[in-house]
Structure 1
């Protein structure tokens, strides 16, 4: 089934959060933002991380996506950020000028990409000499950790084991990403992991509502409505009673950073 990024119904699916402080702190450590004038967010989704790049100090941010519907949502989400502009294009062909950006971000993008080589060669073309690329995604190992009160995603695969194959088939192992970055011409490649807070829910019912809406969770579009309700019931039964304790949902990510 999969999510239809071009459907107006999904226009705001990726606008409902803000970048976690742990992500902001890590980016400040691995990217010299004092040297970032022009940043590019490829696969910007709802613009959450385009705003974060601006908050971190990028003078100007270009947010690019291949879905006009998603871009509409991003424009609304970023309406107070006058230094963010928007472009329609793909990770393979952005139609942007070569050697134009000090920093290029590809967050939660490459699991939608079939051809990493073309994707990274286009990124290399766009980045100025000594500029940085930051690629963030989940490896198969990141995705398939057990479910608990923090790692809610693990329950998806516990309840529906068939999703394991779906998820594993679209996720790249770390060495594959590193090899593709090297082949594109990038150097000084570093890899790290981050447990990033996705969202804090004051009550369990708020989390279950997000699950029911499939908010920002493309894997849930592989389930029909009846299966989704079974998953919600399973998560409801599995999570510890959190009446007085917020649920801090986290995902483990792998981050690759490299220089041109």
Structure 2
């Protein structure tokens, strides 16, 4: 049975609302990814798993010339349209399937924030990303931190299995546990060159919003973010 990657219906609506100002999404992962992006003025950017459009909105505000967002959830894309309007070109598409609607070497930057670990068809998607990126273009990927998952779920650090994490009222997030070796190995084997690696901690704004999660990110690793280059 094929994995369900997207957050549909009420689950997507809840995620869209929480991601707006949450300690984890808004004040840990997003600042790290935007920092890795650097100067995006004039760039053509692909946002894979664009969700409710938070990253796309920030990239446009920072001067990106073109942003294309792709997500498998219509409820999240609805939230993205409300946030961005006509500022980005948004596509409803399952990331487990090839990106056949995107042209070769048509992007300078690809952003994949907290979606990679949900996917089964990662090798296929990385090949598609390499195809649509221009030579010298950058790929940004964030994921749950391997040691953070190990601490939370227990068992073997080297477990290669899907984990289920409670979310909201009765929802469950399903994603792959991966070692650091596997995560980086897949990206490097796909032909990308590692440029930077971050273990993000929550920004100061999160201290007032959610002090427990702020402290957690400053005491144990929760996320991992990398910038890679397509040779």
| TM, length-normalised to structure 2 | 0.71
Q: CA deviation at 1:25?
A: 6.3
- Residue 27 of structure 2 corresponds to 20
1:164-185 deviations in Å (ceiling 9; x for gaps) = 9546972222221221112211
Structure showing greater Rg: 1
Q: CA deviation at 1:39?
A: 0.7
Are 1:51 and 2:15 counterparts? no
- Tell me, which stretches of 5 or more residues in structure 1 are unaligned? 146-153, 159-163, 204-245
Are 1:93 and 2:98 counterparts? yes
Contact 1:178 1:189 in 2 (8 A): no
- For residues 137 and 62 of structure 1, the distance between their equivalents in structure 2, rounded to whole angstroms, comes to 21
Contact 2:8 2:73 in 1 (8 A): yes
- Residue 227 of structure 1 corresponds to none
Are 1:114 and 2:120 counterparts? yes
- For residues 123 and 257 of structure 1, the distance between their equivalents in structure 2, rounded to whole angstroms, comes to 14
Q: CA deviation at 1:43?
A: 0.5
- Residue 213 of structure 2 corresponds to 249
- Residue 71 of structure 1 corresponds to 77
- Residue 259 of structure 1 corresponds to 229
1:174–1:40 distance in 2 versus 1, CA, 3 Å = same
Kindly report which structure 2 residues correspond to 1:198-209, keeping only aligned pairs within 5 A, or say none: 200=206
Contact 1:15 1:77 in 2 (8 A): no
Q: CA deviation at 1:38?
A: 0.7
Contact 2:28 2:201 in 1 (8 A): no
Contact 1:200 1:248 in 2 (8 A): no
Q: CA deviation at 1:61?
A: 1.1
Report SS of the residue matched to 2:78: helix
Between Structure 1 and Structure 2, how many residues are aligned? 198
Report SS of the residue matched to 2:14: coil
- For residues 138 and 7 of structure 2, the distance between their equivalents in structure 1, rounded to whole angstroms, comes to 28
- Residue 187 of structure 1 corresponds to 193
- Residue 234 of structure 1 corresponds to none
- Tell me, which stretches of 5 or more residues in structure 2 are unaligned? 155-161, 166-173
- For residues 150 and 129 of structure 2, the distance between their equivalents in structure 1, rounded to whole angstroms, comes to 29
- For residues 150 and 192 of structure 2, the distance between their equivalents in structure 1, rounded to whole angstroms, comes to 29
Are 1:124 and 2:130 counterparts? yes
The match for 2:45 among 39, 47, 53 is 39
| TM, length-normalised to structure 1 | 0.64
Are 1:175 and 2:181 counterparts? yes
Q: CA deviation at 1:102?
A: 0.7
1:77–1:249 distance in 2 versus 1, CA, 3 Å = farther
